[in-house]
Structure 1
Amino acid sequence: MLEVYDFLTTSSGLAQEYTETIHFESEQVLYQYDWLKNNQFFLMKKGIAKIEIYRKRRWEFETLVAAGEFAGIENLINRRLFCSNIKYRIVSVTHGEGLLIEKDYFLDHVYANPSLFHKILENVTLHHIITSYNLREKKAPLKQRLADVILELVMLTSLPIRNNQVTLPFPFSEDIISSLLRVPVHHVKEILSYLEKEEIVTREHDFQVMDYNRLGKLSNLNVETFKNMRLQPLHI
């Protein structure tokens, strides 16, 4: 996805005028949606961040975004036809780098390059598929839903799977899982204890999947399909 970054910053003069590079540490607000004032897109160049949605007077974890993904897709909506009081923000969970891009500058580049436009559609479609699946499976057993979510996060962040193991390089606490699955924390603790006892995951240091294939068997997702769905770089 660095090709997209290079494409948007080919002209140093225009890039200096219409973009802003952000270097960030963990737990830093990178982007916040404001329907009335927002006129920017955000491109994640390095690192991982979480999307939080404001519900019932608090910020709740929704999903992750990683290198090569965009925020600000709402700028494609005609404001005269649609309005929303939804609030969301992107908060870093690792250190990294991103690019804020003025709306018109970004759209000019998108319309001039079909490959870039296709990449945006691909990202939006992928997140929509995952969201729709999770809504459909919200009454499934909690063990399956937790396995689903872990597989989805591994895929969305393109984490490498080596020797049937994968480590999540960001905090994945019981509270985050509880917020993500909309279930009480004590239920999450029970499932995590089971997974640890079966040596499927461990939380001794980072959150690590010790047996990716066995985790996949708990899920209703096809593990091999998800490996193939991992986001690929865009070549322009």
Structure 2
Amino acid sequence: MDIKKALYLEQDATYKYHQMKLYKPGDVYQYENDEEEKIVFLDEGAALIQAQGKESDWVSHDLVTPKYIISLENMMTNVYIPSYLMYRVKFVETSRMYIVDRDYFLNHLYLNPLDFQEFFESLAIKYINKTRMISVSNESPVTKIANSLFAIIYTLHPNQQVKSYQLPSYITQKFISEYSSTGKARTSEALKELERIGIVQKKKPLKIDVERLNRFITNEH
């Protein structure tokens, strides 16, 4: 779904209800708590959601592509949002991002529920992926990395069943390690094992045999 089109943003010629910003790879959008009345989403490109780790370094926890709401918590109007909920968006592709007034967004959501079917489906995909990662959090590194690869591919191509898929260059071993909460050394060992059994077809950039990946995950469960 084209969220920008569904919101009729092109008719907001005075930019009263939205802002549009362009970003290059490596640029950062720092989320601030005083923007709790804004809904943020990508119309083009891709980015990583990063939170600060224990040593104040930024750790990547999620992948955002068009159709996914970045500031999802800002849709809540009657629920307290903790002040420590801070994160940033690091862009990995040339991207176009929209910052939309929450009431404007929700009014269109209420008036045009059918237009937002894909929006709700994208939320379900995020929920499925996070639930999957929690369910395997105590499993072996190989199982955790395999499920991470599945979740990433599912995020990028939820509408397609592909036999083989080459991940974008920004899906690095470091990102997979952070996404799966697996140490770097364990992640490297897991990728080597997945390469040995034919799931990882190429390492740079990562190319995955999706059919074998699906069979592996199914057999592990």
Equivalent residue, structure 1, for 2:62:
63
Q: Which of 188, 213, 216 is equivalent to 2:214?
A: 216
Quickly say closer, same or farther: Cα 1:26–1:202, change in 2 above 3 A: farther
C-alpha distance in 2 between matches for 1:189 and 1:142: 10
TM, length-normalised to structure 1 = 0.80
SS at match of 1:71: coil
SS at match of 1:50: strand
C-alpha distance in 1 between matches for 2:122 and 2:213: 25
TM, length-normalised to structure 2 = 0.84
Kept in 1: contact 2:75–2:102 (CA 8 A): no
Provide, for residues 141-167 of structure 1, a one-character-per-residue CA deviation record: whole Å limited to 9, x for no partner. Answer: 2212111111111111117665x2111
The aligned amino acid for 2:68 is E
Q: Which of 51, 54, 58 is equivalent to 2:52?
A: 54
Equivalent residue, structure 2, for 1:13:
13
Q: Counterparts in 2 of 1:16-165, with a 5 A limit? A: 16-30=15-29, 32-56=30-54, 57-78=56-77, 81-84=79-82, 85-158=84-157, 164-165=163-164
The aligned amino acid for 1:217 is R
Quickly say closer, same or farther: Cα 1:25–1:215, change in 2 above 3 A: same
Q: Percent identity?
A: 20
**Count of aligned pairs:** 216
Provide, for residues 139-197 of structure 1, a one-character-per-residue CA deviation record: whole Å limited to 9, x for no partner. Answer: 122212111111111111117665x2111113222222221222221111111122233
Q: Are residues 1:167 and 2:130 paired? A: no
Unaligned runs of 5+ in 2: none
C-alpha distance in 1 between matches for 2:40 and 2:154: 21
Provide, for residues 18-76 of structure 1, a one-character-per-residue CA deviation record: whole Å limited to 9, x for no partner. Answer: 2222222212223x433344321112111121111223222211111111111222222
C-alpha distance in 2 between matches for 1:139 and 1:107: 38
C-alpha distance in 1 between matches for 2:66 and 2:139: 31
The aligned amino acid for 1:47 is G
Out of 108-117 and 129-138, give the one that drifted further: 108-117
C-alpha distance in 2 between matches for 1:194 and 1:50: 26
Unaligned runs of 5+ in 1: 223-236
Kept in 1: contact 2:51–2:88 (CA 8 A): yes
Equivalent residue, structure 2, for 1:225:
none
Quickly say closer, same or farther: Cα 1:204–1:147, change in 2 above 3 A: closer
Provide, for residues 92-136 of structure 1, a one-character-per-residue CA deviation record: whole Å limited to 9, x for no partner. Answer: 111222212122222222222212455444333332232122112
C-alpha distance in 1 between matches for 2:95 and 2:76: 29
Q: CA deviation at 1:204?
A: 4.9
The aligned amino acid for 2:13 is G
SS at match of 1:190: helix
Q: Are residues 1:195 and 2:194 paired? A: yes
Quickly say closer, same or farther: Cα 1:170–1:205, change in 2 above 3 A: closer
SS at match of 2:67: coil
The aligned amino acid for 1:13 is A
Kept in 1: contact 2:132–2:147 (CA 8 A): no
Q: CA deviation at 1:202?
A: 4.2
Kept in 2: contact 1:18–1:102 (CA 8 A): yes
